[in-house]
Amino acid sequence: MKLSLSKSAILVVLFLTTTAFAQQQGLSFNFFGGGARSEGMGQAFLAVSDDGTAGSWNPAGLYIHEKTLMNFSYSYLIPRGKLDYYHNGALLNSFDHDGEYGGINNWHFISPLRLKGHHFVLNMGYTRNFDTYSKFAENLMPERFGDNPEPNAFYDRYGSINTVNVGFGTRIYKQLSFGLTGNIYYGKVVTEEYRHFYDSTMEEDLIPVVYESDIRVYDSSAYTGFNITMGLLYTGEKVRAGLVVKTPFDLEGEADSTTVWLSTKNGVPYLTGGADEYVVGVDTFSLKMFHNDTAYVDDMTSQLEMPFVIGAGLAYNVRDNWLLSADVEYRAFQGRQIKLLDSLYLDADGDRTEFYTPFDPNWSDVWQFRLGTEYVFNTSFAQIPVRVGYRNEEFPEGSIRDVGIIYEGQKGIGVNNDSTRIFYRFDYDQNKVVGYSLALGFGLHFTQIMLDFAYTYSSYEQEIYTDQNILLGKNEWKDHHINLSFTGYF
């Protein structure tokens, strides 16, 4: 079964959008573990990993637990920032982007048991790896639709990618423990787009005519995948060292898209007349851009190749109540591809064979460094840990240049009565998103119950250039994230 050109084109549009301008706060692929304690330490947790979230960080840390416990967290993302939009290198206008997004972001149940006298600790959990919330604007095809340099396309994106973790931890030799978890990924990302085009001309009777077209696109993409996390943890008297490896996998995408195309001619709904219609001064291309149509495309299939990830951590107890930790993590994104389902074949036995067309998003490798500290005040009321953390933010952005999107519509549109119309075109370069996050946290730890709080301030920025190396836009994010955790021992 061959997919239609329209479905393939919308697939390309969807994932070019993902990689080109929404990935910075869209699909960041920072699959962090859960919990307010780790967040308060800047996510420098690979060598610590000794609380209820261990199964989502380094499962080797599960081994330390002697009691059954449950841990869950609620988080709240408050995105803030702005987009500076430039025309010919000069600042034209700015757009603020904000919002909020909350929900349970972590749940873990840990239970120890003995198998033939050997201590194992089992883990089952849920982790909200990262939230998505981003906005973007740009001017599509200004050379065809007037001199107005104002943006005529706006993009909103929101959603999350989550993981269900099932695994165990056990000691393999003296102070060395090992852990393994299977990770089931799922989540949904929604992209809402609005585009506006216009053109003006003179008809044969010299009456001025203004064509306007409003295009609204709603894309809902569901993602699934599976990989394995393996961890080692050395626990000394003052020093802890951790190593974590995550296997590469395909993040499967299933997308549904609705495109509503509404056009007017001098403010009146515009109905195209087919091959016999001809307007002086308006070429075939423009006629194809101004019409009315609604397109539904369901079950668009893709595969995003997720990389091999390796991370190492070191933690040091300066005192019994003072801990320092540091992590470094490498994500091998370079060379990974996005594959779009092109066609499939069903044989006589009903066996299904899928054929994918690869697309290179030109991703780059990512190195992340994380630092954290925790100081515990012992009082008669409770233990009160105070935490501070830092991490750099880097995303696997690439460059996209000179990509034309062809969309197949209904027959009989335009003077040539053909079936194609150009959707739009990418023709610019883009720098990587870079930034940092600062975290603060504290807790109240009682004998059976632990309460933890974390706040993270994240600052990102990205500059986008045209293919003539002219600054097109500068995006800045100043996001706030709040996390509340509860841990109870049975």
pLDDT reported for residue 329: 97
Lowest mean pLDDT among 324-338, 358-372, 396-410, 418-432: 418-432
Q: Per the structure, how many domains does the chain have? A: 1
The widest CA-to-CA distance across the chain, in whole angstroms, is 95
pLDDT reported for residue 203: 64
- Give CA 93 to chain center in angstroms: 27
Lowest mean pLDDT among 105-109, 323-327, 407-411: 407-411
Higher per-residue pLDDT: 490 or 236: 236
Q: How far apart are CA 354 and CA 366, in angstroms?
A: 31
Residue 258: which CATH number?
A: 2.40.160.60
Asked if the model's pLDDT at residue 417 lies above 50, the reply is no
pLDDT reported for residue 312: 98
- H or E element, residue 220: strand 208-235
- DSSP assignment of 152-201 equals -EEEEEEEEEEEEEEEEEEEEETTEEEEEEEEEEEEEEEEEEEEEEEEEE
Asked if the model's pLDDT at residue 476 lies above 70, the reply is yes
Asked if the model's pLDDT at residue 339 lies above 90, the reply is no
Q: State percent of the chain over pLDDT 90.
A: 40
Lowest mean pLDDT among 187-196, 274-283, 350-359, 393-402: 274-283
Higher per-residue pLDDT: 3 or 42: 42
Asked if the model's pLDDT at residue 418 lies above 60, the reply is no
Judge contact between 140 and 424, C-beta under 8 A.
yes
Residue-wise pLDDT tens digits, 179-201: 999 999 999 888 888 888 777 77
* Domain ranges, residue 110: 5-489
Q: List, in sequence order, every beta strand (DSSP E) within 332-448.
A: 338-346, 352-359, 366-378, 383-394, 400-413, 418-430, 434-445
Judge contact between 28 and 200, C-beta under 8 A.
no
Asked if the model's pLDDT at residue 285 lies above 60, the reply is no
pLDDT reported for residue 166: 96
Residue-wise pLDDT tens digits, 12-59: 343 333 333 333 334 667 888 989 999 999 999 999 999 999 999 999
Residue-wise pLDDT tens digits, 130-183: 777 777 777 776 655 556 677 888 888 888 889 999 999 999 999 999 999 999
Asked if the model's pLDDT at residue 230 lies above 90, the reply is yes
User: Mean pLDDT for the chain?
Assistant: 80
Lowest mean pLDDT among 163-177, 274-288, 289-303, 369-383: 274-288
pLDDT reported for residue 122: 96
Judge contact between 48 and 323, C-beta under 8 A.
yes
103 dihedral zone (left: phi>0; alpha: psi -120 to 50; beta): left
**pLDDT interval class at 108 (50, 70, 90):** very high
pLDDT reported for residue 209: 80
pLDDT reported for residue 60: 97
Asked if the model's pLDDT at residue 68 lies above 60, the reply is yes
pLDDT reported for residue 415: 37
Asked if the model's pLDDT at residue 286 lies above 60, the reply is no
pLDDT reported for residue 406: 39
pTM of the entire predicted model: 0.82
Residue-wise pLDDT tens digits, 352-390: 677 777 777 778 889 999 999 999 999 999 999 999 999
- Give CA 479 to chain center in angstroms: 15
pLDDT reported for residue 217: 85
